[in-house]
Amino acid sequence: MPSRCNSETYCPDDNSQCKPLLPIGSVCELQRDDECAGRNAICLNATCFIKGAPLSGSCGADRTSYSSLDAEGEAMQQTIIRDNCTVGTYCGPAALCIESKPNGQECEQDRECLSGTCSNDYVCINGPEVFHTIKPWLWGVLGAAVAVFVIIILGALWILHRYQSKKEHEKIAKFFGDNEEFSKYVDHDEGGSVYENEQFANDSRTSVVYLTTPDYVKSSALSTHSWRNSSASRLREASPRTSGTFTPSGNRALTPEPR
């Protein structure tokens, strides 16, 4: 593969080899502006020119016709006219640079329009690739719409947060309220148990005091002495010696002892 041409050379139509750029006034190939050296160079009628002819200045132009097929397959002819006038002007029939036409005026070629596009109705219009300028009031409407949208979103989030916070507060209040009620019931039960324990302790102390009184000791002593005496009397009454029925070993009869 041959090496690519640099900024100081060009590749001719025959693809022979890279050649140095041509100076102004040199012969160039048809519509090969890239063969001419210099800024804003143009190839007109096979000659290198500078595209810098002023308004009302002398100019040159070349005309080239092309035949092609349209979308429906029908043959169509397109004529392209190029000149060396400055931007905003074009070369008129008198070979003088005249001012280009604004949108809405009649035209025959794209070069006659400031927009660079002449419609099929022969009227200057903006081309499809031209950037459409947005009016300032449209920017204001767009900014206001964005601001309103952001405010609505923030308001919805705030309302949702308040709703969730209210639900959480209700849950917390119910939780602590239930705990408080439960604590009241526990305190009530503990108070009843303490009262019963104190009452039982008082009763026990009363019984202990009663058991240690002198009257109880005296009555207890009397009851014990009477029980012992009655028990001894019953034993004496039931003894064989006292009844006279006791017979000792050796079949001796014992006489009852005098009392």
pLDDT at residue 106 in the model: 92
Q: Is residue 186 part of a domain?
A: yes
Any domain includes 239: no
Cβ pair 62, 44 in contact under 8 A: yes
Mean pLDDT of the residues in the chain: 77
Residue 207: predicted pLDDT: 46
Tell me, yes or no, whether 187 lies in a domain: yes
pLDDT greater at residue 10 or residue 237: 10
Full residue range of the structural domain in which residue 165 is found: 134-217
How far apart CA 226 and CA 166 sit, in angstroms, is 85
What the block records as the tokens of 180 is 């408080």
Residue 126 domain flag: no
* pLDDT range class, residue 208, cuts 50, 70, 90: very low
Q: What is the mean pLDDT of residues 119-141?
A: 84
Longest dimension (CA), the chain: 195
> Sorting pLDDT into bands at 50, 70 and 90, what band is 38?
confident
Predicted model pTM: 0.46
Q: Is residue 12 part of a domain?
A: no
Question: Rounded to 5 degrees, what angle do the CA atoms 87, 101, 49 make?
Answer: 30
pLDDT of 79-96, one tens digit each? 888 889 998 899 988 889
Burial label for 29, CB within 10 Å (0-12, 13-18, 19+), is middle
Asked if the structure places residue 202 within a domain, the reply is yes
91 phi/psi in degrees, rounded to 5: -85, 115
Domains held by the chain: number: 1
245 or 104: which leads in pLDDT: 104
How far, in Å, CA of 157 to CA of 147, rounded? 15
The pLDDT of residue 244 is 47
The answer to whether position 224 is within a domain reads no
pLDDT higher than 70, residue 128: yes
* Measured distance CA(217)–CA(253) in Å, rounded: 48
Give the CA radius of gyration of the chain: 67
For residue 234, tell me if it sits in a domain. Answer: no
What secondary structure does DSSP assign to 132-158, as a single string? PPPPHHHHHHHHHHHHHHHHHHHHHHH
Residue 249 has pLDDT above 70, yes or no: no
